[in-house]
Amino acid sequence: MEKIKKAKIKIEKDLQDLEKSLNKSLKSKINLATEISSYTISSGGKRIRPLLSIFIARCLNYSGKELIKLCTAIELLHTATLIHDDVVDESDTRRGKPSVNKKWDIMHSVLVGDFVYSKAFQNMSSLKNPEIIKVLANSTNMISEGEVMQLSLKASFLSEKDYFQIISNKTAELFKASAVSAALLSNASAEELKFVKHLAFSLGIIFQINDDILDYFGDSQRTGKQIGQDLSEGKITLPLIKTYNLSSTKEKKIIKNSLGNSTKKNITLIKNLIQSSGALKEVLNIRNKYYKTCIRNTKKLPSSNFRKLLENTINELVQIDF
């Protein structure tokens, strides 16, 4: 019991170091760049990607000084994509606060997003590890391909296959890169790299599916998002895809009409459909499949208190039930 407390304190210390490093990274002689980027970075993100890097590195006994730099690069990369994402989704809020495009404008979003990207790349390059830089550069490209793919399919009702392709690119790939780069930093073996990859990719999928369920059934106080925001923005996610496939022609029409055009009444209607159609159950089953892969691979990490904490974090994610 005492030992797991010690491990927890170590992880918390890493996360504190990350916050300091993030703030330091965004310092610039151009005050506006620091102001807007700090506004975004300090708006209460969960730091789940760098946390994953920290867990993997600690599980693999990493003891060097590069971990926080890596975590900083990853969180900045993620933040840059969020800033640009909000332009594309025309989102007015992010984590309960006005988005950059709402508080400033699109021009500021584009340029400050680029500024944050450049800071991510500076942190990456300071690692001086070509293999890790390659993993992160490839991941950046996968995210961006996912974004363009999503945009190109905006006019159509997304298929389940396309949904998984998009969330793989936009979310799971960066989870994977966060874990794999931390494993590379820790001189992991080929075997270790393999299961770390699987655990992280499936964790990314779980995380995204959860996010998509929470959009309908979450506590908006906790998520900082309005219930039904995806529906209002015309964004089609797994709960809606599953519901659509299980619906009658009449219900299908209701779903399509609610997209980008959702009143409170509409949202309640769709939420009821998601549950009554059996779609929610199917979504939870899929999440459970990824959970099993995730936990099976996590258990291949050397047994330690860090691994125990990682397992707890994963379990917390899937304990959100509806």
Q: Which residues bind a second copy (CB under 8 A)?
A: 28-33, 81, 84, 87-88, 106-108, 110-115, 117-119, 121-122, 124-126, 128-130, 133-134, 136-138, 140-141, 143-145, 147-149, 151-152
**Shortest spacing between CB 303 and a second copy, in angstroms:** 35
How far apart are the C-alpha atoms of 92 and 174, rounded to whole Å? 25
How far apart are the C-alpha atoms of 3 and 206, rounded to whole Å? 29
Please identify, using beta-carbon distances, which residue of 180 and 214 lies nearer to a second copy: 180
Please identify, using beta-carbon distances, which residue of 109 and 266 lies nearer to a second copy: 109
**Shortest spacing between CB 125 and a second copy, in angstroms:** 4
Q: Are the CB atoms for 53 and 200 separated by under 8 Å?
A: no
Q: Are the CB atoms for 136 and 123 separated by under 8 Å?
A: no
**Residues 83, 242, 274, 155, CA torsion sign:** positive
Please identify, using beta-carbon distances, which residue of 21 and 277 lies nearer to a second copy: 21
Q: Looking up tokens 């709960």, which residue turns up?
A: 239
How far apart are the C-alpha atoms of 134 and 127, rounded to whole Å? 12
Number of H-type helices and E-type strands within the chain: 17, 2
Backbone angles phi, psi at 125, to 5 degrees: -65, -25
For residue 188, the number of C-alpha atoms closer than 13 Å in the C-beta half-sphere is 26
For residue 41, the number of C-alpha atoms closer than 13 Å in the C-beta half-sphere is 31
Please identify, using beta-carbon distances, which residue of 9 and 151 lies nearer to a second copy: 151
For residue 156, the number of C-alpha atoms closer than 13 Å in the C-beta half-sphere is 10
**Shortest spacing between CB 78 and a second copy, in angstroms:** 13
Q: Looking up tokens 């309908």, which residue turns up?
A: 216
Please identify, using beta-carbon distances, which residue of 168 and 277 lies nearer to a second copy: 168
How far apart are the C-alpha atoms of 207 and 210, rounded to whole Å? 5
- The C-alpha angle 61, 1, 180, rounded to 5 degrees, equals 25
**Shortest spacing between CB 140 and a second copy, in angstroms:** 4
Please identify, using beta-carbon distances, which residue of 26 and 301 lies nearer to a second copy: 26
**Residue 257: strand, helix, or coil:** helix
Please identify, using beta-carbon distances, which residue of 83 and 284 lies nearer to a second copy: 83
**Shortest spacing between CB 123 and a second copy, in angstroms:** 9
**Shortest spacing between CB 59 and a second copy, in angstroms:** 26
**Shortest spacing between CB 112 and a second copy, in angstroms:** 6
Please identify, using beta-carbon distances, which residue of 116 and 280 lies nearer to a second copy: 116
**Shortest spacing between CB 192 and a second copy, in angstroms:** 22
